[in-house]
Structure 1
Amino acid sequence: MKNIYRIKNFPVSFFSVVMGLGGLSIVVQKMVEIFSLCNFWIEVSAIFTLSIFLIIAAFYSRKAVFHFKEVKKEFRHPIKINFFPTIAISLLLLSVIFLEINVVFAKYLWLFGTGLQLIFALMIISAWINQRHFDIKHINPSWFIPAVGNILVPIAGIQFVANDILWLFFSAGLFFWIILMPVFFNRMFFFDQLPEKLLPTLFILLAPPAIGFVSYVKLTGNFNDFARTLYFFGMFLSLLLLLQIKYLSKIKFYLSWWAYSFPIAALAVSNALMYKLSTNIFYKYLLLTLFIILLLLVVFLTLRTIKAITRKEICIEE
């Protein structure tokens, strides 16, 4: 009975674990390419990430079957609703990962992930417009997740469909990111601080410009001033967040700590692309530094999450 009860409280935000692992897998691919490492690690990281996705998807599917009311509650929640696109983003990341291994499988992952992303993006933005119980204090970095999903679509999609479809997603994601930025900073400057549980989500701010840089270059083939603006704005935000590390490290462990991992991975991938485009060795070693940080972080988060599960600190009634 206790296990059934915990399934009832299994959060959709658990898919952020897959995002972190998926981001690491893509960075591993870049490390293998740039530093001529063994290809073995590409397949290991890909299979591990896919396995974790299937496990989490199985648990959440069981929740949807036996506790559908709880899923509806999450979707109506002003904060939890924004984590539903993490399912689609996980599939899109897996499609990027498997491009190097099995293109056909990657295509199906991309098609399914893109379809889900479109559905979630439209439903969530509609909820923002129509719901009257949302308040300015509900604004937090998780509101950027739908935008991140849209911006991510072209990275693997460039292999499969016409550019016009990809521009639809990229432009929607980019402009909703731009629109949400002043709303978010207005909330941060003039209202109460974010709840402790949501503080790690500040790192989500890194994802749109970092992924946007990669996606834009993929779409256009151009390394122009707009591409540089996206990259360097991401770097500026990373320096800003670096100043918050001392404070963030003191907060209690929550599943939201996984929000550190994917944005750092996105930053690392943007540096890998920056190195390829500029051939400046600085970006190569910045990539190496970010990879080491990300690897240690993911190992720590994995062990800490396992510990939290065994201690029944997560998947509990809030």
Structure 2
Amino acid sequence: MLLRAPSGASINTTQALSPAEIPRQASIRYLPVNLFASVMGLSGLALAWRQAGHQFGTSALIDAAIGSLAVVVFAVLCIAYAAKAVLHPCAVHNEFRHPIAGNFFGTITIAVLLISSVVAPLSARASEIIWGIGAASTVALSFTIVSRMLRGKVDAGHSVPAWLIPGVATLDITVAGGTLPMAWAREVNLFAMAVGTTMALVFFTMIMSRLIHHHEKLASDMVPSMMILIAPFEVGFLAYTSFFQRIDTFAAMLFYFGLFVFFSLVFKIFKRSIPFAAGWWALSFPLAALSNAALRYAEHARYLPVTVLAVALLVFLSVLIAVLLVRTIHLVASGKLLAPK
């Protein structure tokens, strides 16, 4: 598999294989792990419409349909990626060890956590079990990523927005489990907020420094992932308000700074010159977090412009995910999704 470094240079992650062993046609070997971001976007959209139903009385069938689609997509991707792991273990190993792509394994654990919230109205017990699996795997992944970085000799050029995913994943433990009734869940959620907040702030600072000072720009196919920069603040808002069950000045500051970053990035990302690829799904989950945060804050603020903004963001998110779905289906149908990069 070929992955692009921030400079745009291609990195060969199949170097463990001889040229004769590397297939030149579409293969499950080339299924990108970042496609799990689609589950995050769909789940976030379902939860946003659930919140809209609570606030504005929209039909519960909308979030149920989107949530069902998220579960189906998650199941299909799990089966497909498991097949990749069985048939091409070297490809999965190289993807996980890659300094950039490895962070996208956090999209799997976040997807599990969000699925636990999606299924909560159907079965509280199933939701708790899924959340427990997601929380354990998220902490394990975050520990692995941080331990890897602390070995040193990390290329500063690899400081890209994808680095934020493990930290955001840890915050999502509290987003999904902040109100769970188990006594031990409170301590797990506090631990997750402490780890996730610190990781997000440290990596956010490193990434911003790289984006400002590094001479080489991000490769064009990595530009959509810049939207991940809003995630620590909007997911942080959701985690904080879910755990403390209140919206105070600190929570409002998190929401508004994330909103500021969104408006700073939106015109830099949505350009016709950037070709569509699976990486565009990196847009969906931070925008889903922003939409959910805006709806929750609007319910608290009860200020018309904020409500209008929240509704506009929900519509924007819905249209965006519909477009991403159609474009992804086209990639699958054309065979380009699983083609060698």
Give the TM-score range, shorter chain.
over 0.9
Given candidates 76, 89, 100, the residue that maps to 1:79 is: 100
Q: Aligned to 1:250, what secondary structure does the other structure show?
A: coil
Given candidates 208, 224, 235, the residue that maps to 1:211 is: 235
Residue 258 of structure 1 and its aligned partner are, at CA, apart by: 0.8
Does residue 52 of structure 2 align to residue 31 of structure 1? yes
Does residue 200 of structure 2 align to residue 141 of structure 1? no
Residue 160 of structure 1 and its aligned partner are, at CA, apart by: 4.1
Paired residues in the alignment total 316
Say if 1:129 and 1:177 are closer, same or farther in 2 by CA, change over 3 A: same
Does residue 178 of structure 2 align to residue 154 of structure 1? no
Partner of 1:239: 263
Does residue 267 of structure 2 align to residue 256 of structure 1? no
Given candidates 52, 62, 69, the residue that maps to 2:73 is: 52
| Sequence identity percentage | 27
The answer to whether the 8 A contact 2:28-2:80 is kept is: yes
What are the Cα deviations for residues 10-66 of structure 1, in whole angstroms up to 9, with x where unaligned? 111110111111111111111211110111222211111100000000000011111
Given candidates 282, 300, 303, the residue that maps to 2:323 is: 300
CA–CA separation in structure 1 for the residues paired with 2:40 and 2:102: 17
In structure 2, give the amino acid aligned to 1:146: P
CA–CA separation in structure 2 for the residues paired with 1:94 and 1:281: 32
In structure 1, give the amino acid aligned to 2:144: M
Partner of 1:114: 135
CA–CA separation in structure 2 for the residues paired with 1:291 and 1:307: 24
The answer to whether the 8 A contact 2:295-2:311 is kept is: no
The answer to whether the 8 A contact 2:252-2:297 is kept is: no
Say if 1:185 and 1:156 are closer, same or farther in 2 by CA, change over 3 A: closer
The answer to whether the 8 A contact 1:82-1:142 is kept is: yes
* TM-score, structure 1 as length reference: 0.94
Q: Aligned to 1:252, what secondary structure does the other structure show?
A: coil
What are the Cα deviations for residues 173-218 of structure 1, in whole angstroms up to 9, with x where unaligned? 1111111122111111121111111100001111110111111112
Given candidates 240, 245, 250, the residue that maps to 1:226 is: 250
Residue 3 of structure 1 and its aligned partner are, at CA, apart by: 11
Given candidates 291, 298, 305, the residue that maps to 1:268 is: 291
What are the Cα deviations for residues 153-172 of structure 1, in whole angstroms up to 9, with x where unaligned? 11221214432210101111
Given candidates 16, 20, 33, the residue that maps to 1:12 is: 33
Residue 147 of structure 1 and its aligned partner are, at CA, apart by: 0.7
Does residue 201 of structure 2 align to residue 201 of structure 1? no
The answer to whether the 8 A contact 1:107-1:160 is kept is: no
Q: Aligned to 1:243, what secondary structure does the other structure show?
A: helix
The answer to whether the 8 A contact 2:32-2:278 is kept is: no
Does residue 150 of structure 2 align to residue 129 of structure 1? yes
Name structure 1 gaps, 5 residues minimum. Answer: none
Q: Aligned to 1:84, what secondary structure does the other structure show?
A: helix
In structure 2, give the amino acid aligned to 1:189: I
Say if 1:280 and 1:17 are closer, same or farther in 2 by CA, change over 3 A: same
The answer to whether the 8 A contact 1:96-1:155 is kept is: no
What are the Cα deviations for residues 199-254 of structure 1, in whole angstroms up to 9, with x where unaligned? 000011111101111111121233222212211111110110123145x3421111
* TM-score, structure 2 as length reference: 0.88
- More helix by percentage: 1
Residue 99 of structure 1 and its aligned partner are, at CA, apart by: 1.9
Over aligned residue pairs, what C-alpha RMSD do you find? 1.8
Does residue 202 of structure 2 align to residue 182 of structure 1? no
The answer to whether the 8 A contact 2:223-2:269 is kept is: no
